[in-house]
Structure 1
């Protein structure tokens, strides 16, 4: 016998035959995951002179992202109030796909042009790899964001 569950603001998840609120799983699991991240920061040694303080700071900073991650993993979309039935068929999904493919082409073209220019620079160029990767990531974000906003504005 199947029963129709009412949709809720925060959604539910299925485990066995019963239905549990998604946040009832996400909050404790997220706190445990954040604690593990804090403990890892102590083990790695990035907590400076006071490991206990470092543990609590890292755990506090990781708690909300960890809860959000667990929530996204356990929530059943069909139990969320206001959720679209088939999100892949929405116009926003098409904008996203077009922006992602366009920004990938921007990335390939930009890196190709940069490689060609750096190949012909006499003596070579010495750059910090961290800065290069941060610049590539920022360029990807900017390209995708601009393309998505333009597509959304066009309709």
Structure 2
């Protein structure tokens, strides 16, 4: 089968069809998410909220749509068996280390919270945990990569 830079759809067609459908689906998903946030979260300026959220989510939604629709075997230069690659092994090891770090971190916070009464908003807690998990994963992944080099 002929390969292209961006691949072909799983359901048949050309690269142009895949890209067009990905952009359309991404625009639809971004608009839906923007409308939901504008309707339920931002009462003071819903049109601005819709525009900002839709524009920020558009590239991510388009890429995700492309990822769901593309046939991997039609992408030029794609690894034929990514599950058995060294990067997959590093990813698995980093995921395992991140889980252990989360268990230790949350357990430690539980112990500290019995002695020190502190209050954190849900938004701030989500941001802190997201940065912690992302940082832990990234450090672990690159440590495994460096150890293998």
Q: Which TM-score bucket, shorter chain as reference?
A: 0.7 to 0.9
* Higher helix proportion (structure 1 or 2): 2
Q: Cα offset for 1:63?
A: 1.5
The TM-score with structure 1 as length reference comes to 0.82
Runs of 5+ in structure 2 lacking a partner? none
Match of 1:63 in 2: 58
Q: Distance in 2 between matches of 1:47 and 1:59?
A: 16
Question: 5 Å matches for 1:31-50?
Answer: 31-46=27-42, 48-49=44-45
Q: Cα offset for 1:35?
A: 1.9
Match of 1:72 in 2: 67
The CA RMSD measured in Å over matched residues stands at 1.9
The TM-score with structure 2 as length reference comes to 0.85
**Quick one: structure 1 residues 134 and 73, their matched pair in 2 at CA, closer, same or farther if it must change by over 3 Å?**
same
Runs of 5+ in structure 1 lacking a partner? none
Q: How many residues of Structure 1 are paired with residues of Structure 2 in the alignment?
A: 145
Deviations 1:41-90, CA, capped at 9 Å, x for gaps: 332251633x4444333322221111111111111111111110100111
**Quick one: structure 1 residues 151 and 38, their matched pair in 2 at CA, closer, same or farther if it must change by over 3 Å?**
same
Structure whose alpha-carbon radius of gyration is higher: 1
Q: Distance in 1 between matches of 2:48 and 2:132?
A: 36
Query: Conserved in 2, the CA contact under 8 Å of 1:35 and 1:59?
Result: yes
**Quick one: structure 1 residues 62 and 100, their matched pair in 2 at CA, closer, same or farther if it must change by over 3 Å?**
same
Q: Distance in 2 between matches of 1:80 and 1:125?
A: 54
